[in-house]
Structure 1
Amino acid sequence: MATTVREPRKDGEATRARILQAAGELFAAVGYAEASNKAVATKAEVDLASINYHFGSRSGLYLAVLDEARRRFLDISDLQRITLAQQPATEKLRALVELVVNKALQGHNNWHLRVLAAEILAPSPHGQAHLQTGAPMKLALLKGLFSEITAIPPDAPALTRCILCVTAPWAMLLIGPRATSGALHEILGMPADQVSTHLYQFALAGLEATGRQYAQGEGC
């Protein structure tokens, strides 16, 4: 008797994507603790077994949502593509700022930024450790770029301070609270090229000033 080989369901990836989208929207709206698998299944129009099949568990689903949010936020491949490119370091900085601003302005109503913000402000049991898995490589790439601009060694404390000063506005743009008024709300309504140019000029000026101080022995 011939054995029938069952082919994978062609709609499997579509179902997984639908669950991921529904879960992301719910986690963004009510938080991880309040978004049950049943609610996700209802929103995605699937049964509970589909969630377990694709993600293994509720925590597995949440980690997959964080992965997707992080990918859309600033994926390691984005950083590698820009920081390792064969072009002047200042142009790499400009390209990185433009990428961040475009992501912030285009995605400020999307769930992925709100999920990341919620995880950072109110950490879940496993989320923080999961988000930190790619942090050392991202930090190394940024240090390499900023070192090119400032001529400060990557392991110098001054360069670490530079990273905080330069990237803090990026983080605010990407995951800051989306109120209906205030400075962030105004900035998100501005043309992307104006915001990018402003942030780039401030970042470059600060990096170059710190590099001069370091060369004169005023930094460490």
Structure 2
Amino acid sequence: MLQANEHDETKQRLLDAAGEAFAAKGYHRATIREICSRAGANVASVNYHFGGKKGLYKALLEHCHQESLRRHPPGSLQAQAGPEEALRVFVRSMLDRNLGEGRPTWLSRLMARELSDPSPALENVARASILPNVDRLAAIVARIMDLPGDSPLARRCALSVVGQCLHFCRSKPVIEIVCPGVTYDSQGLDEITNHIVRFSLAALRGLAQEGTA
């Protein structure tokens, strides 16, 4: 029987190998045999540790998301001086999670594949890992706009903020060509954060005024 540290090491090797394989070929084309070969593990180890290919893929997505949150937490709404600062913390955290150091090089390719060709694991991961962060951001937006916490408008606006963050992350190679002044070092990420926050606050306040006019 594997000792605890051997057990954890094998699981981590399988997750790392699965990330490379799924990013390169997608969920449907990547094989358990290939993943185990990359990991230097027995083919039966996937069933032992994860219950099969679907379980491995689900665990991989959850692991990546939770690890990024651990490295760059979005901040507690209650810990901030106000909703504007909470928005700034959330935006910078999201940029850091998608662009920061320590992020696997294959993760962007994996997520791009997952969104264009969803696997059976996407819904569970979205509900368990992504939905709580959307809820947190929607609550921040609702406070800025002076709307009820369950406002559909606040939720749509929260997704618009997320869209800006993802655009700067996913379109980095193009942005560096069409907008040479944008950089992605620490100072550059500060400037991107400031832009997204200023743009979003102006839009949110404008929409709030329209609603009360």
**Shorter-normalised TM range:** 0.7 to 0.9
Instruction: State TM-score, norm by structure 2.
Output: 0.83
1: CA distance, partners of 2:2 / 2:54: 28
In the alignment, which residue of structure 1 is the partner of 2:12?
A: 17
2: CA distance, partners of 1:202 / 1:156: 21
Shift of 1:42: 0.9
Shift of 1:122: 0.8
Q: Summarize the alignment of residues 95-110 of structure 1 with structure 2, pairs less than 5 Å apart.
A: 95-106=89-100, 110=105
Return the match for 1:192 from 189, 194, 198.
Answer: 189
Closer/same/farther in 2, CA of residues 188 and 49 from structure 1, 3 Å limit:
farther
**Paired amino acid for 1:194:** E
**Retained in 1: the 8 A contact 2:23–2:107?**
yes
1: CA distance, partners of 2:87 / 2:32: 42
Structure showing greater Rg: 1
Closer/same/farther in 2, CA of residues 55 and 146 from structure 1, 3 Å limit:
same
Shift of 1:132: 2.8
Q: Give % identity.
A: 27
In the alignment, which residue of structure 2 is the partner of 1:8?
A: 3
1:204 maps to 2:196:
no
1:89 maps to 2:86:
no
Offset from partner CA, 1:97-132 (integer Å, 9 cap, x none): 1111122222676223322221111112x1222223
- Tell me, what secondary structure is at the counterpart of 1:182? helix
Gaps in structure 1 of 5+ consecutive residues = 1-5
Instruction: State TM-score, norm by structure 1.
Output: 0.80
Return the match for 1:183 from 175, 178, 193.
Answer: 175
2: CA distance, partners of 1:33 / 1:62: 11
Offset from partner CA, 1:42-85 (integer Å, 9 cap, x none): 1111111222211110111111111123324557x934x43232
2: CA distance, partners of 1:177 / 1:39: 31
Closer/same/farther in 2, CA of residues 7 and 45 from structure 1, 3 Å limit:
closer
2: CA distance, partners of 1:148 / 1:212: 14
**Matched residues, number:** 205
Q: Summarize the alignment of residues 59-98 of structure 1 with structure 2, pairs less than 5 Å apart.
A: 59-72=54-67, 78-79=73-74, 81-98=75-92
**Paired amino acid for 2:55:** G
